[in-house]
Amino acid sequence: MNFIRTSIPDVVIIEPTIHGDDRGYFCETFVSNKLTEFLGYKINFCQDNESKSSKGVLRGLHYQLPPYSQTKLVRVISGRVLDVAVDIRKNSPTFGQYVAVELSSENKKQMLVPRGFAHGFVVLEDDTVFAYKVDNYYSPECDRGIAFDDSNLNIDWQLKHNELNLSPKDTKQPKLSQTNEIFEYGVDYYA
C-alpha cells in the first residue's frame, strides 16, 4: 500500500498493491495498522456505505458538524468519479482550497477525507458504484453542505452544468462565505 499526501497534507491518496494474474486480481483495500502508522493516529471506522449512480450525478459538497463530524475513506468499486475534498477549517493555510482526484475501478485509488473537510463527487461513467467508510454515524441535525458551484472554490467538475444531476438539497446549499457552520483549524476533532 502506498500513502501519498496531497497539496493539502491532511488529505491522503491511498494506492493499494494489486496482485494479478490471468485469473483476476487481489488487493487489500483497508489495513488499519498501516493507516495508523502512516497518519500517527487511529481512525475508528464504524460504518460502510455504498451508492450507485448514473453519469452526471453530483453528490456534495457535504459534511457534518461536531460532535458527528466524519472522516471518510472513499473508493470506487465499479466505474469512475471525480472525487473532491474542500478544506473548510477556518484559519487553515489551505482554507477554501480543494483536492480533486479521479477514482476508478481500474486505478483502485482511495482518498482519505478527514474531519474539517466538505466532500463531494461527480460520476463520470454510468453504473458507477461508490463505497466509503465513516468513523461517525449520520446525524440529520449536524448535516451541512456547501454549494458545488461556489465561484470562490472554482471546482472543475469536468462536466458541463447542464450535464449534472443533483438532489434538490444540493441545488440549495450556501456558498462557503455564507456559512459560519464550519470547523476551527488546529482543533483535534479526533479527541
| Separation between Cα atoms, residue 63 and residue 32, nearest integer Å | 23
Tell me the pLDDT tens digit for each residue of 132-177.
Answer: 999 999 999 999 999 999 999 999 999 999 999 999 999 999 999 9
DSSP SS3 for 81? strand
Q: Does 191 have pLDDT greater than 80?
A: no
The pLDDT > 90 percentage for the chain reads 90
Determine the Cα–Cα distance for residues 19 and 181; give it in Å rounded to an integer.
44
Angle value at C-alpha 100, between 80 and 106, nearest 5 degrees:
30
pLDDT score of 30? 92
Looking at the DSSP bridge assignments, the partners of residue 82 are 102, 122
How far apart (Å, rounded) are the C-alpha atoms in residues 123 and 105? 12
Determine which one of 62, 68, 185, 190 is catalytic.
62
Strands 183-184 and 89-90 turn out to be: parallel
Q: Is 62 a catalytic residue?
A: yes
Query: Can you give the residue ranges of every domain in the chain?
Result: 44-178
Q: How far apart are the first and last CA of the chain?
A: 27
Is 12 exposed, middle or buried, given 0-12, 13-18 or 19+ CB atoms closer than 10 A?
Answer: buried
DSSP secondary structure code for residue 175 in this structure:
P
The half-sphere exposure of 78 on its side-chain side, counting CA atoms within 13 A, is 9
Farthest CA pair distance, the chain: 54
Is the pLDDT at 37 greater than 80? The verdict is yes
3-state secondary structure of 165: strand
Over range 33-43, report the average pLDDT.
95
pLDDT tens track for 13-32: 999 999 988 999 898 889 99
Q: Which pLDDT does position 38 carry in this prediction?
A: 96
Q: Which CATH superfamily does the domain covering 44-178 fall into?
A: Jelly Rolls (2.60.120.10)
Q: Residue 132 catalytic?
A: yes
* pTM for the full predicted model: 0.95
Catalytic residue among 63, 98, 119, 132: 132
